[in-house]
């Protein structure tokens, strides 16, 4: 006996009720989670109230980004426990996505602060300032001469830190021996370093002690301008009766992320000093 088509929804009618396309209904048919009750002689698809109720479940779960396979499994085994298990699993995944998004947002905020700070930098003037103690993570280079190995150490240093909960700022700087620089004109890095929260207590952590620091924001490349900078430092140190009591710490503030040309780079060069009695 032929079915009374007036008792059924056509594909277009059912799709319109839920605000979806007829192609979506065809896709659900192909994925074997919602088949029409019957297909008429004119090739129209017709859906019953039972299919309407199933589609209600499918649409609601798809809005929660539940996969087709998970929906299919649930439709074949509908009960309170199965639905709660499905929702708990999805909630856990969403909470992890939220944590990931919040971490990414925090890093974006940190980088935007760095960009805004870079816009305000003025280079070329030596200053003295008192700093609080600061924990840094150090990757040693003192015994590494091969440039390729140095680059590898730099990459490992960054990869280790960028996902760390102690991560404070993006930039990684380098350390130069103050004795080598001032007495032998040696500007080669002896370590890479990155500042971290002071709560970090790893084996590669070092404390920059609180004290008086001489600093300059230098525009250009430190390695190619070492002699000129050294003359400026020596003049300032002599005039103010200071002595250097630490290595030299070079932190890029404007680098390849923010400038096309190396001549536009700005580096903060710092060293701890004390007054000569």
State the DSSP string of 31-56: TTS---SEE-TTS-EEE-HHHHHHHH
**DSSP-H helix ranges across 64-79:** 68-75
Which alpha helices (H) appear in 76-225, and where do they start and end?
A: 80-119, 147-162, 178-184
Residues 182-225: tens digit of each pLDDT: 998 888 899 999 988 888 878 888 999 999 999 999 888 887 77
Question: Cβ(118)–Cβ(265) under 8 Å?
Answer: no
* pLDDT tens, residue by residue, 129-155: 999 999 999 999 988 889 899 999 988
Cα end-to-end span (Å), the chain = 111
pLDDT digits (tens, 9 = 90+) for 48-102: 999 999 999 999 999 999 999 999 999 999 999 999 999 999 999 999 999 989 9
Angle between the N-to-C axes of helices 68-75 and 80-119, in degrees from 0 to 180, rounded to the nearest 10: 160
Global confidence as pTM = 0.68
Helix or strand run (H / E) with residue 267: strand 266-275
Q: Whole-angstrom Cα distance, residue 52 to residue 35?
A: 11
């Amino acid at each position: 006996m032929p079915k009374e088509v007036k008792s059924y929804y056509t594909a277009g009618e059912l799709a319109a009720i839920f605000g979806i396309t007829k192609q979506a209904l065809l896709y659900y048919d192909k994925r074997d989670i919602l088949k029409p009750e019957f297909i008429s002689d004119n090739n129209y698809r017709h859906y019953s109230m039972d299919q309407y109720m199933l589609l209600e479940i499918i649409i609601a779960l798809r809005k929660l980004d539940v996969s087709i396979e998970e929906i299919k499994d649930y439709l074949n085994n509908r009960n309170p426990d199965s639905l709660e298990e499905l929702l708990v699993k999805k909630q856990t995944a969403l909470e992890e996505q939220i944590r990931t998004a919040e971490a990414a947002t925090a890093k974006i905020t940190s980088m935007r602060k760095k960009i805004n700070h870079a816009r305000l930098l003025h280079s070329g003037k030596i200053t003295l300032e008192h700093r609080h103690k600061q924990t840094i993570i150090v990757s040693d280079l003192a015994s590494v001469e091969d440039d390729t190995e140095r680059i590898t150490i730099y990459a490992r240093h960054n990869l280790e830190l960028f996902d760390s909960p102690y991560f404070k700022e993006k930039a990684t700087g380098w350390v130069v021996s103050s004795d080598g620089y001032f007495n032998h004109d040696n500007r080669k890095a002896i370590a890479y370093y990155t500042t971290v929260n002071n709560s970090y207590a790893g084996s590669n952590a070092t404390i920059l002690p609180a004290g008086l620091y001489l600093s300059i924001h230098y525009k250009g490349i430190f390695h190619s301008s070492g002699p000129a900078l050294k003359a400026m430092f020596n003049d300032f140190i002599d005039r103010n009766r200071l002595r250097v009591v630490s290595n030299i710490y070079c932190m890029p503030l404007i680098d390849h992320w923010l400038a096309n040309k190396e001549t536009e780079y700005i580096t903060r060069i710092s060293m701890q000093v004390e007054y000569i009695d």
